[in-house]
Structure 1
Amino acid sequence: MTLDDIGNEALGKLTAREVCQVLREVVLGRRRMTKPGAQTWDEVYACLFDVDVEGWRISIYNDCDELDYCEQAVSPDGQQWDFDPGARTDPIALLSTWEHQSLERMLKAL
């Protein structure tokens, strides 16, 4: 555990791994993902796409019809994870190739 991890816990911040696990559970069919808005993945094309995963609010960047990165995630209890361009990774980058492709297909189908 690093000093940053302790600081994140104290502030109620989520880690990229925690958000990745939620997305992984969607891919594996253990959690249900819905879209709160009316726009489809194809309609946003190059913009943020919001989804709800059983109370988790997650914003994912659609880069010209390709799943790119996670911008933000807020858990049902209000803990938050935010994209940091200086960080080494984000929740989407932690997914396996198969999980990434499966999640992208699921987003397109919403």
Structure 2
Amino acid sequence: MRRACKQSWSEIYHGLISAEIDGWRLTLFNDCGTLGYCEECRSPDGRVESLETRQRCGTDPVEFLSGWNVSSLSVY
């Protein structure tokens, strides 16, 4: 997992931050230093899932991230 935007986790204290995991790009919401939710998810083949479409299913990709993945965002 790596940060895919120029600003660091601490610089985006309240807002959207992008991360890349094995070709997948997640746009995550940093809620004052806490990982809030996934705004958008893009697969390597171009499929897109957004917050609006995902709420119908009741799943959030953030729930599948390990504690190590979440903490690695704040290191960069």
Q: Under a length normalisation based on structure 1, what TM-score does the superposition of the two structures give?
A: 0.58
For residue 80 of structure 1, what is the aligned residue in structure 2?
48
Q: Root-mean-square deviation (CA), in Å?
A: 1.9
Aligned residue in 1 for 2:69: 103
User: Alignment partner of 2:10: what SS?
Assistant: helix
1:89 deviates by 2.9
Unpaired stretches in structure 1, ≥5 consecutive residues: 1-32
| AA of the residue aligned to 1:90 | D
Which 4+ runs in 1 deviate beyond 6 A?
none
Deviation at 1:36, TM superposition (A): 2.4
- Superposed CA deviations along residues 49-102 of structure 1, whole A, max 9, x for unmatched, are 001223211101100000111110111100111112843231123x38xx2x32
Matched, 1:91 2:51: no
Instruction: Give secondary structure in 2 for the equivalent of 1:44.
Output: coil
Q: Which one has a larger percent strand, Structure 1 or Structure 2?
A: 2
2:11 maps to 43
**Alignment: residue pair count:** 74
Structure with a larger share of its residues in helix: 1
CA distance in 1, matches of 2:60, 2:30: 15
Max Rg structure:
1
